[in-house]
Amino acid sequence: MNIIKSVKVANFRVHKRFELVTDKMTTLVTGGNGSGKTSLIEALYISLRGKSFRSADKDILQKGRQFYRIETLFCGGERVIVKYTEGKKEFELGGKKHRRLPKKNRQPIVLFEPSNLNLIHNSPASRRDFFDNLISQIDEPYAEAVHKYKKSLKQRNNLLKKDLATPENLFAWNVMLARYGTEIVLKRKFFVSEINELLTKTYQDIAKNHDEVKIVYENTEVDETKYLKLLESSFSKDNVVKNTTFGPHRDDFLFNFNRQLANNVASRGENRTIVLALKFIEAEIIMKYLNKQPIVLLDDIFSELDESRQKSLLKNFKTHQIIITSVKPPKGMKSDVNICN
């Protein structure tokens, strides 16, 4: 397991300069709202995954500064330096510079944000993003398929919006959408099946009851040939609404709780327990497919969980390196670092 020893940031959001030492299994960072706790989680995420989970680099750069810099040191001596200047980001590893973080240096992460706890009630887009991010960590070709699908979708929609679309000039983009869209749907179905095999048991282990939970992936069942024909037949409708009305960008992931829609029948605590179970399963699946223990980043969620769920969270991730941010220490924990406003 690759343990993070420290992370230093400069001109990164509210931090002119700051160093966080994390050379142990659990590190708790406390501080008031707006003190920059989440920014440290974000800096680690960029070092480990290559991009922010929050916003564009230009929005991260401290106002009036020319660059931002992140330096993450691992206990084995490895170092990742990220520098953003003049609109360009650069990664330095072992003395070599890269425009993107090399795939072999990307570390698996389980990121838990307060917004995750509302996953079941959130928009279909937020659920698609949640599952796409999870699968992309495990399956690099899936991440590439999502990237190419979104790029092709943007081009097709641009033609529709500008009233330049014809069946002929949409054909090439239809082919791309059919190819990558089919791959996305098949892999989503596969991983939802994997998650469902573990979901009820994991939920019951946390809740100490016999409730059943299942994810239903709502999509149109088509192969690549049928997908292409559906895109072609939807031209008239798409041309009226100026958007692509069919594809995995419109699919949804619904949660059933005791064979009813969780959004209708599950309590707030039950919904949060489902999300906790999902995060535990995410770590298990990462271990299964990558044979690596993910680093766990818990951003300001303890105030949103009761004591029993807090304990379950720490228990299930006890073999992982965990970096936690919180306004104040949870019961039974002491702050390792306090950031003053």
Number of H-type helices and E-type strands within the chain: 10, 14
pTM comes to 0.90
Give me 16's structure tokens.
Answer: 């002119």
Mean pLDDT of 116-123: 93
Note the pLDDT tens digit of each residue in 159-187.
999 999 999 999 999 999 999 999 999 99
Note the pLDDT tens digit of each residue in 260-284.
999 999 999 999 999 999 999 999 9
Nearest to 24 by CA among 298, 317, 326, 320: 320
DSSP 8-class letter at 61: B
Question: What does the alpha-carbon distance between residue 321 and residue 3 come to, in Å, rounded to a whole number?
Answer: 7
Ranges of beta strands (E only) in the chain are: 4-12, 15-21, 26-31, 67-74, 79-85, 88-93, 96-98, 109-112, 213-218, 252-257, 260-261, 295-299, 322-326, 337-339
What is the separation of C-alpha 294 from the centre of its chain, rounded to a whole number of angstroms? 13
Q: How much is the mean pLDDT over the chain?
A: 94
Note the pLDDT tens digit of each residue in 137-147.
999 999 999 99
- Which of 14-23, 99-108, 122-131, 330-339 shows the lowest per-residue confidence on average (mean pLDDT)? 330-339
pLDDT beyond 60 at 49: yes
* Domains and their CATH numbers in the chain: 1-107+294-341 (3.40.50.300), 124-291 (1.20.1050.90)
Complete edge-to-edge strand list for the sheet that includes strand 96-98: 15-21, 4-12, 67-74, 79-85, 88-93, 96-98
